Amino acid sequence: MHPPRSSSRAALAVLLLLLPTLALAADRGAWAPGVAYAVGDIASYGGKGYDCRQSHTSLVGWEPPNVLALWLERTGNPPADTQAPTAPSGVGSPSKTYDSVSLTWSASTDNVGVTGYEVFVNNGASASATSTTTSATVTGLAANTTYTFTVKARDAAGNRSAASAAFSTTTPTRPAPDTQAPTAPGSLRSTGVTASSVSLAFNASSDNVGVTGYEIFVNGGTSAAATSTTLTATVTGLAANTTYTFTAKARDAADNRSAASNSVAVTTGNTAPSGSKVLVGYWHNFDNGSTNIRLRDVSSQFNVIQVAFAEPVTGAPSGTMGFTPYNATVAEFKADIATLKAQGRKVLISLGGANGTIHLDDAAARQAFVSSMQGLVNTYGFDGLDLDLEGSSLSLNGGDTDFRNPTTPRIQNLIAGTRQLLNDNGAGFVLTMAPETAYVQGGYAAYGGPWGAYLPVIYALRDRLTYLHVQHYNTGTVMGLDGRAYAQSTPDFHVAMAEMLLQGFPVGGNASAVFPALRPEQVVIGLPSSPQAAGGGYTTPANVQKALDYLMKGQSFGGTYVLRQAGGYPGFKGLMTWSINWDKFTNFEFSNSHRAYLDTYP
């Protein structure tokens, strides 16, 4: 999670999109988003040349000067790419409507790489559609009209190919308007209840053209409380111990609505009492120029102290973990831990970090991991274990597609080894995790490689998981449940990322593979304590507390993101920070301001 020898972390080095094949190292011309770059590739940006340090697919925000983990500036400019791609071939139309034509074609080739295609209509000078694949749909056409289409390819340097051979087709006559509504959904029923939500199911409607979705209405309201394209829906943001009446309607593409289904009355459950809020902090077992602190002198504002880090002592594949205090003897460090525990605080050993790669590839490595970690727990008296794994420590193998049944040995052995440590140390042994957003919320958009790689671990150990504090920093933009991408450092980002864990989400866009919601008391937001503590994502205390007011009380700050549970999540547990040392460096701004704020909640 945190770079053990510098104030900011190269976390973006692991946010790589793993593709079946990557482009060979070459001069790639001008840098562009959406391009697969390989190690050794050369790209130009802002008049400078850069060497690719790690294979990845570029995204907006990952420009070479902004992501030094991916790019190294060259001393000279790369040679210009002046070779155009070959012309696309085989243009055809698999389908069309009265006002659109869908086109496909065979791929072009390029000396560096094709980055996209442009579709031209009737020899127009401007493209009517663009695509990064070998298909596109041209819309806004007239019915019963013949159009001629050509396609050109482009590369990252802006070179355009010659036009493809022309393809002509005629749009069909506009059909008569669809005025027939779908039939009403059948057998509306409740399938699950919480204190703030009701899950519903119903039987499919039929339509002369086709049903496109369903709407759920509450207590005879005129606006839908939930929508769905499947035969289930969940209405959230409800009051506890309250009876609600639900109906469902179907709709079609012409916006015709069916009559209402049967009504069903459901009573929500009671709200479980929530505990006090926590402040979790990481203590450096190294000197990186922030502040040297003896463990016993950690600010009293922190409830949980993560000692960072235990690391492999004989290489990543061995599984053997070690830890040696850097500013105290073993006896002094054990006494420091005992002092903190006597104050009612928890002291955990965090393993991994940016440089602590761990590969539990087989049973021998797993057993070495368990034995060595148990030895550290016994020696120092740690209260629990924190999993702060990055990079190749957690990455899904090809074909590992179900978070509920992982097949990657490295993940299977981590789960089994951690479970053994939990069992051996009893019910009071604390388990926390500190993944980056790509490894958790990133699994919403894609599941594979690092994307969503923590999900099987969280899912398998959720019954013993105390806190999940995802790092809301060094991450760029991430998509929320509303389909919008939110930028780090903003209240919207913190609320959107947290609610994904509190609501659950379909993994990889698969509605049949929903990662279940965590309990609010398991969810903590991870933040840098100061601008120096991370490469990006620092958020002022005022903006953090705006996000928390909305997240816990439903008190809006007027942002873009809208909570699925309008009343918020009173049981949400608190904040984590990297780090305790950087917090002291900035005169305890983080811990003092947020401890006082969190203490205003019951």
Of residues 309, 420, 320, the one with CA closest to residue 360: 320
Provide the CB-side half-sphere exposure for 522 (13 A, CA): 22
Of residues 217, 278, 236, the one with CA closest to residue 569: 236
Distance of CA 64 to the CA centre of its chain: 22
Q: Give yes or no for a contact between 536 and 489, defined as CB atoms under 8 angstroms apart.
A: yes
CA angle 346, 341, 525 (to 5 degrees): 20
Active site residue 589: no
User: What is the Cα–Cα distance from 274 to 520, expressed in whole angstroms?
Assistant: 9
SS3 category, 276:
coil
User: What is the Cα–Cα distance from 40 to 54, expressed in whole angstroms?
Assistant: 8
SS3 category, 299:
coil
Question: What are the C-alpha distances in Å from 151 to residues 107, 128, 130, 138, 159?
Answer: 11, 10, 9, 12, 14
Do the strands 226-228 and 211-218 form a parallel or antiparallel pair, or are they unpaired?
Answer: antiparallel
SS3 category, 55:
coil
Residue of 63, 118, 390, 499 with catalytic role: 390
User: What is the Cα–Cα distance from 188 to 168, expressed in whole angstroms?
Assistant: 49
Identify the bridge partners of residue 223 per DSSP, sorted by sequence position.
Answer: none
Note if the bond before 579 is cis, omega within 30 degrees.
Answer: yes
The tokens describing 57, both together, are 């697919």
User: What is the Cα–Cα distance from 79 to 341, expressed in whole angstroms?
Assistant: 62
Q: Report the helix count and the strand count for the chain, using DSSP H and E.
A: 8, 33
User: What is the Cα–Cα distance from 261 to 216, expressed in whole angstroms?
Assistant: 10
User: What is the Cα–Cα distance from 150 to 587, expressed in whole angstroms?
Assistant: 64
Question: What are the strands, taking DSSP E only, across 285-427?
Answer: 304-312, 321-322, 346-352, 384-388
User: What is the Cα–Cα distance from 235 to 226, expressed in whole angstroms?
Assistant: 6
Distance of CA 398 to the CA centre of its chain: 19
Q: Give yes or no for a contact between 327 and 292, defined as CB atoms under 8 angstroms apart.
A: yes
Question: What are the C-alpha distances in Å from 24 to residues 37, 45, 56, 369, 437?
Answer: 8, 20, 12, 37, 29
Q: In what order do the strands lie in the sheet with 71-73?
A: 27-30, 42-45, 48-52, 71-73
User: What is the Cα–Cα distance from 58 to 31, expressed in whole angstroms?
Assistant: 9
- DSSP one-letter code for 560: S
Do the strands 574-578 and 523-528 form a parallel or antiparallel pair, or are they unpaired?
Answer: parallel
Residue 315 — φ and ψ, nearest 5°? Answer: 100, 150
What are the catalytic residues? 390
